[in-house]
């Protein structure tokens, strides 16, 4: 069975993606950062549709933690067929009053998270001669949005990284 890692799969768009991929016959590695109950609900819905999944928890802004958890999951279950980079956060505020921490949190999660998740998955996918990588960006990354300078910058960077 082909496996897909979906980050941010405990709620919203990531949850919907994970459930639909599970219904389509993929085994889902359901990632969550803080919402364990949401991840359990995602797993329950996948299993209710006769799908398979498992839950992974790590902070996508933490490079070492990502690598350790992803390497462990790949060692136990094999290379992923696909990775959906969906997890992200917002810390909306007017730029003049934006704190450095608000900038850093969004950039480290939304943009660094791409590297932190994709980098340890890419060579196992290459070795398996398979792989699909899907990134979830935003219109804010293309045209910007007032009060979302940090978010827009992170999503624009994600678009560039995906195109490269």
For 106, the token pair is 């969004």
Contact (Cβ atoms closer than 8 angstroms) between residue 36 and residue 60:
no
Mind listing the pLDDT tens digit of every residue in the chain (164 residues)?
999 999 999 999 999 999 999 999 999 999 999 999 999 999 999 999 999 999 999 999 999 999 999 999 999 999 999 999 999 999 999 999 999 999 999 999 999 999 999 999 999 999 999 899 999 999 999 999 899 999 999 999 999 999 99
Query: So which residues are the catalytic ones?
Result: 151
Q: pTM of the prediction?
A: 0.96
Sheet with strand 3-6: strands edge to edge: 52-57, 27-32, 3-6, 82-85, 132-135
Strands 27-32 and 3-6: parallel
First to last CA, the chain: 29
- Of 145, 98, 139, 135, nearest to 113 (Cα)? 135
Ordered DSSP codes for 76-113:
HH---SEEEE---------GGG--HHHHHHHIIIIIHH
Which helix or strand (DSSP H or E) is residue 134 part of? strand 132-135
* Structure-token match 């933490």, residue found: 62
Beta bridge partners of 132: 82
Contact (Cβ atoms closer than 8 angstroms) between residue 42 and residue 15:
yes
């Amino acid at each position: 069975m082909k496996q897909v890692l979906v980050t941010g799969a405990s709620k919203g768009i990531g949850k919907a993606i994970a459930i639909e991929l599970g219904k389509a016959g993929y085994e889902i590695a359901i990632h969550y950062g803080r919402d364990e109950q949401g991840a359990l609900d995602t797993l329950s819905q996948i299993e209710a549709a006769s799908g398979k999944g498992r839950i992974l928890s790590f902070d996508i802004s933490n490079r070492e933690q990502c690598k350790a958890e992803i390497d462990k999951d790949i060692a136990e279950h094999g290379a992923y067929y696909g990775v959906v980079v969906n997890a992200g956060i917002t810390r909306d505020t007017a730029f003049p009053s934006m704190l450095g921490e608000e900038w850093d949190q969004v950039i480290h999660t939304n943009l660094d998270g791409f590297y932190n998740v994709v980098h340890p998955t890419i060579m196992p996918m290459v070795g398996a001669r398979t792989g699909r990588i899907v990134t979830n960006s935003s219109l804010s990354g293309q045209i910007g949005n007032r009060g979302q300078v940090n978010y827009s910058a992170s999503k624009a960077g994600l678009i560039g990284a995906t195109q490269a």
